[in-house]
Structure 1
Amino acid sequence: MMASLWVRRLLTSCDGIGNKLVRAASSFDSVMKPLEGFKPTPSFKITVVGSGQVGTAVAAFLLARNLTKNLVIHDVKYDLATSEALDFSHASAFLGNPIVRACGDGNRTKNSDVIIITAGARPSGKTRSRLDVMHKTVEILKSVVPKLAKLSPKAVFIVICNPADVMTFAVQRIGNLEKHRCFTTGCHLDTARFRYLIAKRLKVPTSDVKGYVIGEHGSTAVPVWSSVTVGGIRLSDIVKDLGTAKDAEKWSDLVDGILNAGVHVSKAKGYTNWAVGLTTSDVVACMLQNTGKVCCVGTDVKGLYCLKDSVVLSVPCRVTANGISHIMELPLTEDEHKNLLKSADTLLSAQCSLKW
């Protein structure tokens, strides 16, 4: 208890936000002469909700890539969030001198530009099924999202708690958020794995491979083989029956490495965090660059791909500083479109089971 109190006091004495530095008075103040009329510009502020393995990985990559100088780690376990914030603060000289603060009640998240939600329930003990975890996570979201949305009315929300697609749907509804500013990283990571595995097989750089995995960020995700190009050459023009059961080269064998990669990692570690953290930081970097880069992220795609219901699916989207500006409608083969509709049905079923 005493150690926890010491951590809080030490962090507060070193803390700050933008133009206001919270610290003990010092005789050095006598040589710091403020200029009349100066008004500081608020720095780009990010809040990470959750200080578990995923939240900490997200925070680490945001700081390491210098994507923010003002980071808040929000967790109801305030002592844990405080310790993580202090741990990062000790290395501030190596990170470009960011301000990293902890928050337990949500108040320090005010006026965030981006809010990244990693908090959620994990399968353990009696909570074993995906649905049980989903319902418990929704209860957590209902307790935090309304206040976050009120304190940061212009923030873009990025949802990465599982199941990511369904939880994004939930956050949009709970926070009454427009779909352009509430999305999940979704299949951005699956797409990266897809390109990596193809590149590895062909012995070319991953950057030379283009293609997407769309749909659910999970077992019903759809590799779009018809979109794959290598060095500008459409792979389906070279490989007959690419990715199908008739494919003599068995390209479809790569699918397990795409869809179940997280499962394989979790079996040994008990969780996944580094790839998710890197994926999230990449999407945030795209927002900061504001070039409109196309990323395979997930939001409500009602009205596209022949979908008549509101359902969160990952498809190529143009990501800007204010969120998603455009959703791209990929030309799909008949089989790919059927598989996408199956993926949508799976997610719709889960969405309909949510308890509001």
Structure 2
Amino acid sequence: MGRKYAIVGVGHVGATIAFALVTKGDADQLVLIDKNEKKARAEQLDLQDATARLETRPKIKIQDYAELADTDILFITAGNIHALDNASGNRWAEFEYTREIVKDIAPKIKKSGFHGILIDTMNPCDAISQYLQKEIGLPGSQVLGTGTFLDTARMQRVVAEQFNVDPKNVAGFVYGEHGESQFVAWSTVKVNGLDVLPLAQAHNLDLTELESQARSGGWAIHSGKGYTSYAIATCAVKLSRAVLDDAHLMCPCSSYNKKYDSYVGQPGIIGKNGVEELIDIPLSNTEETKLANSAATIREKFATM
């Protein structure tokens, strides 16, 4: 039967994920669901036209939650991007819209009998991921958010630019909320295998400024084109491949942390069961405090759902 994916919400992010899955040959079957049926149909037709010039031809269906029963990977990418137009850097501005969206779609997903791996990109990512897990009733390992996987990529880009290296040569993690309380755990960051802290001192770099640039990266993109799509879609697809390949990839994502009783961005191992385990990398005392405070912010907002 092959690999079956589904996407709920085919706006900028959902459509970009769909395009990547089809053009890279990842999907044998793809289901598109959107509140706007004309939009879902248009994306279906556009992708089907593209397959005439591709090596693979996945089956693409639309608007049928029953198809989720045997879906391997479900992306939740719905939202209202215009909620961020006057958000002033606050991803929680989407919350009043997205919480109503997930209250509508979660029962439909549960009713479908979906039992695969769910990957959420909706904002506020951590609270929405936790709500979906609770309402659908899947094991916590099977529901994850892209979370700080994207923020870590932004940190890698910012640091790489300073040292003129490939971003993949920058290792380390952004922890916490996919939002304003996130932080770069500089104690985990290495450039070409070397600790960044002495490197930054030697190059007279302001790590606080670099962290600010990474945190505000999404807003810089949003202010220019009105949304973000490529990087977040790439992160989501990367996670899905790690699941279906049983790659045991270590990367940060939003998953449940028992210590904080909250979903929060942290490193984990991604494999066929979703989040196979969390990796407890030693942090500095200051970083531990930041993580606890960030988790508390998420927990407080989740309680209002």
What amino acid does structure 2 have at the position aligned with 1:156? I
TM-fit CA distance, 1:329: 1.0
In structure 1, what is the equivalent of residue 150 of structure 2?
189
TM-score by length of 2: 0.92
What amino acid does structure 2 have at the position aligned with 1:199? A
In structure 2, what is the equivalent of residue 27 of structure 1?
none
* Higher helix proportion: 2
- The alpha-carbon distance between structure 1 residues 289 and 172, as it changes in their structure 2 partners (threshold 3 A), is same
For 1:123 and 1:284, locate their aligned partners in 2 and report how far apart those are by CA, in whole Å: 27
- The alpha-carbon distance between structure 1 residues 172 and 160, as it changes in their structure 2 partners (threshold 3 A), is same
In structure 2, what is the equivalent of residue 55 of structure 1?
14
SS of the residue aligned with 1:110? helix
- The alpha-carbon distance between structure 1 residues 132 and 335, as it changes in their structure 2 partners (threshold 3 A), is closer
Higher mean Cα deviation, 205-214 or 228-237? Answer: 228-237
- Segments of 5+ residues of structure 1 without an aligned counterpart are 1-41
For 2:23 and 2:77, locate their aligned partners in 1 and report how far apart those are by CA, in whole Å: 19
Corresponding pairs, count: 303
1:283 pairs with 2:239: yes
In structure 1, what is the equivalent of residue 62 of structure 2?
103
In structure 1, what is the equivalent of residue 279 of structure 2?
328
Higher mean Cα deviation, 195-204 or 124-133? Answer: 124-133
- The alpha-carbon distance between structure 1 residues 188 and 103, as it changes in their structure 2 partners (threshold 3 A), is same
TM-fit CA distance, 1:69: 1.6
For 1:108 and 1:311, locate their aligned partners in 2 and report how far apart those are by CA, in whole Å: 30
Which of 36, 39, 42 is the matching residue for 1:77? 36
**Does the 8 Å CA contact 2:115/2:138 hold for their aligned counterparts?**
no
- The alpha-carbon distance between structure 1 residues 143 and 253, as it changes in their structure 2 partners (threshold 3 A), is same
For 1:318 and 1:218, locate their aligned partners in 2 and report how far apart those are by CA, in whole Å: 22
| TM-superposition CA deviations, 1:155-202 (whole Å, max 9, x none) | 111010111111001101111121100010111111111112112111
Which of 203, 207, 221 is the matching residue for 1:251? 207
In structure 2, what is the equivalent of residue 112 of structure 1?
71
State the identity %.
26
Matches within 5 A, 1:189-338: 189-240=150-201, 249-303=205-259, 307=260, 310-338=261-289
For 1:239 and 1:256, locate their aligned partners in 2 and report how far apart those are by CA, in whole Å: 15
**Does the 8 Å CA contact 1:86/1:100 hold for their aligned counterparts?**
no
TM-fit CA distance, 1:67: 1.6
SS of the residue aligned with 1:219? coil
- The alpha-carbon distance between structure 1 residues 209 and 269, as it changes in their structure 2 partners (threshold 3 A), is same
TM-fit CA distance, 1:97: 2.5
TM-fit CA distance, 1:101: 2.6
Q: Give 1 or 2 for the bigger CA radius of gyration.
A: 1
What amino acid does structure 2 have at the position aligned with 1:207? K
TM-fit CA distance, 1:149: 3.1
SS of the residue aligned with 1:314? strand
For 1:283 and 1:124, locate their aligned partners in 2 and report how far apart those are by CA, in whole Å: 26
What amino acid does structure 2 have at the position aligned with 1:348? R
TM-fit CA distance, 1:131: 5.4
Provide the alpha-carbon RMSD of the alignment. Answer: 2.2
TM-score by length of 1: 0.79
TM-fit CA distance, 1:91: 1.0
**Does the 8 Å CA contact 1:172/1:179 hold for their aligned counterparts?**
yes
1:67 pairs with 2:18: no
| TM-superposition CA deviations, 1:281-328 (whole Å, max 9, x none) | 11112222212010101111022xxx3xx2110101100022110001
Which of 37, 51, 54 is the matching residue for 1:92? 51
For 2:227 and 2:148, locate their aligned partners in 1 and report how far apart those are by CA, in whole Å: 18
Greater RCO structure (CA 8 Å; 6+ sep): 2
- The alpha-carbon distance between structure 1 residues 100 and 274, as it changes in their structure 2 partners (threshold 3 A), is farther
For 2:209 and 2:35, locate their aligned partners in 1 and report how far apart those are by CA, in whole Å: 43
- The alpha-carbon distance between structure 1 residues 204 and 182, as it changes in their structure 2 partners (threshold 3 A), is same
In structure 1, what is the equivalent of residue 112 of structure 2?
151
In structure 2, what is the equivalent of residue 10 of structure 1?
none
**Does the 8 Å CA contact 1:116/1:159 hold for their aligned counterparts?**
yes
What amino acid does structure 2 have at the position aligned with 1:212? F
Matches within 5 A, 1:8-23: none
- The alpha-carbon distance between structure 1 residues 124 and 185, as it changes in their structure 2 partners (threshold 3 A), is closer
For 2:84 and 2:108, locate their aligned partners in 1 and report how far apart those are by CA, in whole Å: 30
Which of 141, 145, 150 is the matching residue for 1:180? 141
